[in-house]
Amino acid sequence: MLIAANWKMFKTRAETRAFCEAFTPPEGVEVVICPPFTSLDVAVEAGLTIFAQNVHWAEEGAYTGEISAAMLKELGVAGSLVGHSERRQLFGETDEGTARRAEHALAAGLRVIACVGETDSEREAGATESVLRRQLAPLPRDPRLVVAYEPAWAIGTGKTATPAIAQEAHAYIKSLIDAPVLYGGSVKPDNAAELLAQPDVDGALVGGASLDPDSFAAICRAALIS
Ligand code: PGA
């Protein structure tokens, strides 16, 4: 089980320090935190396993606003998210760009959590499987690649996929790629156990509920009993 916290654009360095002092990951579950770029070194120093929220495909170059895998490794960062639905929807990132980011990060020795998932209208149009197929096709096949299934309609909305919906999508993803699959989208302490109990749910990617050390610790503990 892998439980990852995606802090998005939340927490200053001082707030990151305060979280790390208050949070002790339970034994027996792998915990990853993805803070904003400016807090990565603070979180690494606290002794936690730290991933970035994005990584560029080039080693260096004229890519204003981007960060390379080598820059992350220098800070002691262990991996990165790629292809989060907010990157796709708000910043125009594509399936191919996401795959290039994943490929480069893996080649540089980072681990990768690649996010996939359909929007509300794609689900209503019955396109969930074709969207997942299209997003997964260009991703590199690598033992250090983890997939996160995050239906965009469940992110930050309080609408969680039912355990049955999550299980169905995870089983489909696993028929296309041999990788652990995390569920993400409104995971909370009170719904984590039933989601994590599904046979093809290998962990969780947690946004809002990961910002509070007690609620994130409760989700991590739910992984132990699932
Ligand atoms: P949420 O976000 O848990 O706040 O829905 C999940 C994510 O975007 O990774």
pLDDT band at 226 (very low <50, low <70, confident <90, very high): confident
Asked if 200 and 177 count as a contact pair (C-beta separation under 8 A), the reply is no
Other CB atoms within a 10 A radius of the CB of residue 132 amount to: 22
More confident residue, 131 or 161: 131
Q: 3-state DSSP call for residue 182? A: strand
Nearest CA to ligand 1 atom 9: 207
- From 11, 149, 206, mutation site for ligand 1 pocket: most ligand atoms within 8 A of C-beta: 206
Tell me the percentage of the chain whose pLDDT exceeds 90.
94
Calculate mean pLDDT across residues 184-193: 96
What are the tens digits of pLDDT across the range 19-39? 999 999 999 999 999 999 999
Q: Which domains does the chain have, with CATH numbers?
A: 2-225 (3.20.20.70)
pLDDT recorded at residue 161: 86
Nearest CA to ligand 1 atom 3: 207
| φ/ψ bin of 123: left (φ > 0), alpha (ψ from -120 to 50), beta (otherwise) | alpha
Calculate mean pLDDT across residues 3-30: 97
Residue 205 Cβ < 6 Å to ligand 1: yes
pLDDT recorded at residue 160: 82
pLDDT band at 41 (very low <50, low <70, confident <90, very high): very high
Distance from Cα 183 to the centre of ligand 1, integer Å: 10
